[in-house]
Chain A
Amino acid sequence: MTTFVAPVIDWAALSAILVIAGTGIVGVLVAAFVPASSRRTVQVVLALVAPLAALAVVAWRWSVVVGGGESTLVAGQLAEDGPALAAQAIILIFAVVGFAVMASRLPNGEEAFAPQGAAAPGSAYEEAARRAGLEQTEVFPLALLSLAGMLVFPMANDLLVMFVALEVLSLPLYVLSAMARRRRVLSHEAALKYFLLGAFSSALFLFGVALLFGFSGSISLPDLGTAAATTVGMDGMAVVGFVLVLTGLLFKVGAVPFHAWVPDVYQGAPTPVTGFMAAATKTAAFAAILRLLYVAAPGFGWDVEPVLWAVAIASMLLGTVAAIVQTDIKRTLAYSSVAHAGFALVAIVSLSEQGPSALLFYLLAYGLATVGAFAVVTLVRERDADGNVTGEATHLSQWAGLGRRHPVLAATMTLFLLSFAGIPLTAGFVGKFVAFVAAADGGAWPLVVIAVIASAAAAFFYVRIIVLMYFSRPEESERPGADAVEPGALTRASLVLCALGTLVLGVWPTPVLDLLAQAAKFVV
């Protein structure tokens, strides 16, 4: 038996994660001890300050680490290097803008989250809960704890740490998905589906870890890479294990054929949660895939590449085709996110040198537009006969003519949609461009051709929404027409940040691209 040696822990390198996780735990205590009247204010302040503080910490670590200070921490279980820090910074940016939308209220004081799970909408019980000022402030600690898991994910240099991070980020998201105030049954259904399929994919991931451990005798990624290059005669075990681990991660990304949960969960979850989840989870999971592929996979490259090709092509084609036939804006955006998972994969299938920075830029561009687009969805509301604001108007036909009544909001949405479509002068264009160039440099020409065709087809349904907003009259139908409400200060700030980011990254992407290019080196 080996003797136990206490690992040396570099607390400074862990400080960003500790800030977020610590604030999450403080948030639970706030929910327990702070009086109900001031609870929400405290939670919102904590949830907005913590990601900003963590962002500052990441910037500081960046200056220490990038360009020679890369290292592994805690006995090699975590890695602090450029790609990890870049991914953490991107996730934290999404957290700032995403939490701002979560914390906003409608002009009538309504939140996106159910005040009491058991109180049916419209019942006397719910009215009593509303009068009592009951609110679910647990949303914020849950989101922070999930964020802590997302921050560990890009650093995980060990399959078990990766698994723990996967669970830490997933479990709060399942709960958050169930908390919608309106269309509550849909929300519960979404959470249950997400939980069951998520548990299933976690099991596959673990099974893959077991097989890889059987193959290499280690769960650390660099050891796995070494074993893959030197061990002969156990290919079956190794490849099956590797593909199973990849399956667990591709599930979180929402790539075909592991996308079945995406439309239902994106539609059912409270819209602010959907925006944050779509952007940040995807970034975290892609960062983990990045490390898995670049650190452990070069030894597996020969077998894994066809799998990635198939997943990327299937995601792009199915996401695009399915998005075209959707009639619900949230489902359309969900299928578009499946397609974007495919486009993002294109950047790294050939394991080219520019792959990591191209992928991270793509995710930044996609995430800003995603948080923004879902924030716009939270503002477009139905009204009942008395003119009271009710639920979100998610049917596409209800968006007709929005451009006439709310030109600024429609213009913002148009910007995000153009970025999704990859039209020049938006961040999405630069993202697609660098992703496809990275793939082409690695020799994946056929894939690039398919990706370009798919993005041309995908442009159709984004443009269709734009045409609907500007050039269609609201048709007579049984559905109430949609009207946008004034955004709260926080949603407004979030929308401005997302729109500015999308524009600036589209017009002048060089500084960010240069920064990310410095960060392309993985520590082994």
Chain B
Amino acid sequence: MTNPYVPILVLMGAAALLALGGIGASAVIGPKVYSRAKLEAYECGIQPTPHAIGHGRFNIKYYLVAMTFIVFDIEVVFLYPWAVAFSDLAVFGVVAMLGFLALITVPYLYEWRRGALNWD
């Protein structure tokens, strides 16, 4: 009789092996080149701008894009399980989901009207 939790333990072991194995293998067989570029934040040579140290300010637009993403992300997060259970939930599910969609449109309307969607 095996404990039902054994597969989970095996999975955790496999995951740990894979992670440690990957790091270990690249440490052993990977080429080792040290240069200036290796010390920079992005190896391609692009400087991160503005500098985080020295009171760099990020444009608020980035945050607005992130917020817009979250509005749609949350929408999708709930739409998927609803779609899977659609036939079980029947009319109740449709009405609830329509209500949810209507509500989640409200912040989107707010963003649109207050100019968050204009890049310039």
A residues at B contact (CB < 8 Å): 3-4, 6, 25, 28-29, 31-33, 118
Give me the 4 closest cross-chain CB pairs, A-B, nearest first.
A6-B92, A32-B113, A32-B110, A4-B88
B residues less than 8 Å from A6 (CB atoms): 89-92
B residues less than 8 Å from A33 (CB atoms): 109, 113
B113→A28 contact, CB < 8 A = no
A28 with B107: in contact, given A33-B113, A118-B60 (CB under 8 Å)?
Answer: yes
A118 and B60 CA atoms in complex are apart in Å by 10
A4 and B89 CA atoms in complex are apart in Å by 6
Of residues 5 to 45 in B, which have CB atoms within 8 Å of A's CB atoms? Answer: none
Query: In the complex, which residue of chain A has the Cβ closest to the Cβ of B111?
Result: A32
Question: Residue B85 at the A interface, CB < 8 A?
Answer: yes
Contact of A32 among B60, B89, B91, B114 (CB under 8 A): B114
A28→B92 contact, CB < 8 A = no
Question: Residue B101 at the A interface, CB < 8 A?
Answer: no
Q: A6-B90, A29-B110 are in contact. List 12 more A-B contacts (CB 8 A).
A: A3-B88, A4-B85, A4-B88, A4-B89, A6-B91, A25-B103, A25-B106, A28-B107, A29-B109, A32-B112, A32-B113, A33-B109
Query: In the complex, which residue of chain A has the Cβ closest to the Cβ of B112?
Result: A32
A506 and B49 CA atoms in complex are apart in Å by 62
A33 and B112 CA atoms in complex are apart in Å by 10
A31→B60 contact, CB < 8 A = no
Query: In the complex, which residue of chain A has the Cβ closest to the Cβ of B109?
Result: A32
A29→B106 contact, CB < 8 A = yes
Q: Nearest Cβ in chain A — how far from B112, in angstroms?
A: 8
Query: In the complex, which residue of chain A has the Cβ closest to the Cβ of B102?
Result: A25
Q: Nearest Cβ in chain B — how far from A161, in angstroms?
A: 15
Q: Nearest Cβ in chain B — how far from A318, in angstroms?
A: 38
A residues less than 8 Å from B110 (CB atoms): 28-29, 31-32
A25 and B106 CA atoms in complex are apart in Å by 7
Kindly name the residue among B88, B110, B113 whose own CB sees the greatest number of chain A CB atoms within 10 A: B110
- The 8 A CB mask of B38-60 against A (1 = contact, 0 = none) is 00000000000000000000001
Count of chain B residues with Cβ under 8 Å from any Cβ of A?
15
B residues at A contact (CB < 8 Å): 60, 85, 88-92, 103, 106-107, 109-110, 112-114
B residues less than 8 Å from A25 (CB atoms): 103, 106
B residues less than 8 Å from A118 (CB atoms): 60
A487 and B91 CA atoms in complex are apart in Å by 53
Query: In the complex, which residue of chain A has the Cβ closest to the Cβ of B110?
Result: A32
Query: What are 5 A-B pairs with beta-carbon distances under 8 A?
Result: A4-B88, A25-B103, A29-B109, A32-B110, A33-B109
A118 and B89 CA atoms in complex are apart in Å by 46
Query: In the complex, which residue of chain B has the Cβ closest to the Cβ of A118?
Result: B60
Q: Nearest Cβ in chain B — how far from A77, in angstroms?
A: 14
A28 and B110 CA atoms in complex are apart in Å by 7
Q: Nearest Cβ in chain B — how far from A17, in angstroms?
A: 14
A16 and B115 CA atoms in complex are apart in Å by 33
A28 and B103 CA atoms in complex are apart in Å by 11
Q: Nearest Cβ in chain A — how far from B51, in angstroms?
A: 19
Query: In the complex, which residue of chain B has the Cβ closest to the Cβ of A117?
Result: B60
A471 and B108 CA atoms in complex are apart in Å by 57
A residues less than 8 Å from B85 (CB atoms): 4
A residues less than 8 Å from B90 (CB atoms): 4, 6
A residues less than 8 Å from B91 (CB atoms): 6
Kindly name the residue among A28, A29, A32, A33 whose own CB sees the greatest number of chain B CB atoms within 10 A: A32
Query: In the complex, which residue of chain A has the Cβ closest to the Cβ of B91?
Result: A6
Query: In the complex, which residue of chain A has the Cβ closest to the Cβ of B92?
Result: A6
Query: In the complex, which residue of chain A has the Cβ closest to the Cβ of B85?
Result: A4
Q: Nearest Cβ in chain A — how far from B30, in angstroms?
A: 38
B residues less than 8 Å from A29 (CB atoms): 106, 109-110
A362 and B41 CA atoms in complex are apart in Å by 57
A residues less than 8 Å from B60 (CB atoms): 118
Q: Nearest Cβ in chain A — how far from B54, in angstroms?
A: 18
A6 and B91 CA atoms in complex are apart in Å by 9
B106→A28 contact, CB < 8 A = yes
Q: Nearest Cβ in chain A — how far from B117, in angstroms?
A: 12
A residues less than 8 Å from B107 (CB atoms): 28
A31 and B110 CA atoms in complex are apart in Å by 7
A488 and B109 CA atoms in complex are apart in Å by 34
Query: In the complex, which residue of chain B has the Cβ closest to the Cβ of A34?
Result: B113
A4 and B87 CA atoms in complex are apart in Å by 10
Query: In the complex, which residue of chain B has the Cβ closest to the Cβ of A4?
Result: B88
A4 and B107 CA atoms in complex are apart in Å by 31
A29 and B60 CA atoms in complex are apart in Å by 22
A118 and B58 CA atoms in complex are apart in Å by 12
B residues less than 8 Å from A32 (CB atoms): 109-110, 112-114
A202 and B103 CA atoms in complex are apart in Å by 24
Query: In the complex, which residue of chain B has the Cβ closest to the Cβ of A25?
Result: B106
A25 and B105 CA atoms in complex are apart in Å by 11
